[in-house]
Amino acid sequence: MIPNQEELFRKTLDSLNEKPTEQNMFNMFLKLYPAEWKALKVTFSKFNRSKQFGKTIPLPKPEVSIRKEIRVWLNKQ
């Protein structure tokens, strides 16, 4: 969902002083990339408003989505 996600996560990891955990990475990502985070939240809001009544498409909240992406990325490292 985020362009250049791999690169952003790598830079986030390099910025951490402590052991990289999902929570640490998430907090640092929000601190380093507020524009990307805002864009993700705006996209989520637009999608939620555009749904027709009675038709639901499960889309995780931005917090859940980015944490999952970070978790998967950390496991690959």
Asked whether the predicted pLDDT for residue 62 surpasses 80, the reply is yes
Structural domain count, the chain = 1
Taking only the tens place, the pLDDT of each residue in 19-48 is 888 999 999 999 999 999 998 888 888 877
Distance CA 29, CA 70 (A): 10
For residue 31, the enclosing domain spans 5-13+20-76
Q: Is the pTM of this model over 0.75?
A: yes
Look-up: residue for tokens 């496991």? 75
